[in-house]
Amino acid sequence: MPIDPSVVGRVYPPQLYEVSREKIREFAEAIGDANAAYIDTAAARGYGHADVVAPPTFVMIPVMNGFDLLMKDLGIEFARVVHVDQRFTYSQPLPVGTRVEATTRLDGVRAVAGNDLLKIRTEVRAEDGSDICLSEATLLVRPEDSDGRDASD
Amino acid sequence: MTERVTEQLVVGDVVADHTYWITRENLVRYAGASGDFNPIHWNERVATSVGLPGVIAHGMLTMALAGRLLTDWLGDPAAVVEYGVRFARPVVVPDDDIGVAVRVAAAVTEVRDDGLVALELTVKVDEQKVLTQARALCRLPADRPSQP
């Protein structure tokens, strides 16, 4: 059953996330990125940062926490979802120790060839309310009666 | 790396290119690090049951690798101001020790007066684009010589 367009405009409770030194290191290792700004405070200071910073796509972690809320709310299983596009606009770096709030808004729903395309906007802010990153994503959701339902096992 | 950035850039310049390899081990590590445990990224049975040719890489991992090309070139990871991609084609990761080769290149599309540079990334597997509309806006270091 297609997603009811009346859900467009829903805003989900801000998700709190604290950026830790070990998570930055783990993420950088997982993408094979040896940039010293992720692990070495002195190197990060050389670029004008107070301490180590997160890689550009690290912010997807708090963004995904918001996606999870939205998908639960709409009854969408993970394996039915395909990431179509992703865009980040950064206002400031994301240094270790930052506590962010990710606020997720469903900006649009469009049915295309039996699938639903969801436009999701996530505003990631620091505790003081300043913007860190805007995430704009499109997710494709396959219908429930497709083979995808087996994948949630 | 910074010296390369401070050179005079011209539209069309390919500022960096690199081939990254993705193995199943990389997928497991990325799943753990990112928290994205969608089974299509580690379970062949599930991946094929939803119509995929096999286990595929997280789109965000491919995006992160293409982003690495930029941050390796720039030095400062926070010099990336905007970054967006479209996941055009799944990256199938074989169950072997070699993995799949992802070729990434970054070319200048605009040099702006405010010191920002727009780049287009070409991201290919087997000569086919896996990411399209892969674009970034980057801030060059402050010591960059001013435009003539």
All residues of chain B having their beta carbon less than 8 Å from the beta carbon of residue A146 are: 50
User: Any chain A CB within 8 A of the CB of B78?
Assistant: yes
Beta strands in chain B (DSSP E): 14-22, 80-87, 100-111, 116-125, 128-139
Whole-angstrom CA distances from A132 to A3, A62, B104 are: 31, 12, 27
Average pLDDT over residues A50-56: 97
Average pLDDT over residues A5-11: 94
Q: Considering the domain boundaries, does residue B117 fall inside one?
A: yes
CB B77 within 8 A of CB A35: yes
Q: Considering the domain boundaries, does residue B90 fall inside one?
A: yes
Q: Considering the domain boundaries, does residue B79 fall inside one?
A: yes
Q: Considering the domain boundaries, does residue B32 fall inside one?
A: no
Nearest C-alpha in B relative to A136: B84
> Amino acid identity, residue A144?
E
When the candidates are 3.10.129.10, 3.40.720.10, 3.90.1170.50, 3.40.190.10, the CATH number that belongs to A9-19+55-152 is 3.10.129.10
Q: Which of A88, A136, A139, A142 to mutate to test the interface with B (most CBs of B within 10 A)?
A: A88
Q: What is the mean pLDDT of chain B?
A: 91
Give pLDDT tens digits for B77-114: 999 999 999 999 999 999 999 999 999 999 999 999 88
Domain encompassing residue B67: 2-22+58-139
Q: Which of A138, A99, A87, A105 is nearest to A10 (CA)?
A: A105
Q: Which of B1, B44, B49, B139 to mutate to test the interface with A (most CBs of A within 10 A)?
A: B49
Beta-bridge partners for B132? B86
Average pLDDT over residues A68-81: 91
Task: Check residue A142 and give its pLDDT.
Answer: 86
State the DSSP H helix or E strand holding residue A83, giving kind and residue range, or none if neither. Answer: strand A81-90
Contact residues for A112 (Cβ-Cβ < 8 A; gap 6+): A140
All residues of chain B having their beta carbon less than 8 Å from the beta carbon of residue A56 are: 64, 67, 70-71, 77, 80, 83
Task: Check residue B104 and give its pLDDT.
Answer: 98
All residues of chain B having their beta carbon less than 8 Å from the beta carbon of residue A29 are: 29, 33
Nearest C-alpha in A relative to B61: A31
3-class SS of residue A118: strand
All residues of chain B having their beta carbon less than 8 Å from the beta carbon of residue A136 are: 84
Question: Where along chain A do its domains lie?
Answer: 9-19+55-152
Q: Considering the domain boundaries, does residue B47 fall inside one?
A: no
CB B99 within 8 A of CB A65: no
The CATH number of residue B75's host domain is: 3.10.129.10
Give pLDDT tens digits for B127-137: 999 999 999 99
Q: Which of B68, B70, B102 to mutate to test the interface with A (most CBs of A within 10 A)?
A: B68
Q: Considering the domain boundaries, does residue B95 fall inside one?
A: yes
Beta-bridge partners for A139? A83, A118
CA-based nearest distance B12→chain A, Å = 23
Beta strands in chain A (DSSP E): 15-18, 81-90, 99-112, 115-126, 131-141
Nearest C-alpha in B relative to A139: B87
Give the count of domains, chain B: 1
**ipTM entry:** 0.92
Nearest C-alpha in B relative to A85: B86
Task: Check residue B2 and give its pLDDT.
Answer: 47
Task: Check residue B7 and give its pLDDT.
Answer: 59
All residues of chain A having their beta carbon less than 8 Å from the beta carbon of residue B77 are: 35, 37-38, 53-56, 93
CB count in 10 Å sphere of residue A77: 17
CB B107 within 8 A of CB B69: no
CB A79 within 8 A of CB A148: yes
- Which range has the worst mean pLDDT, A20-29, A70-79, B24-33, B77-86? A70-79
Q: Which of B111, B138, B108 is nearest to B120 (CA)?
A: B108
Does this model's pTM top 0.90? My answer is: yes
Q: Which two tokens stand for residue B56?
A: 């595929």
Q: Considering the domain boundaries, does residue B53 fall inside one?
A: no
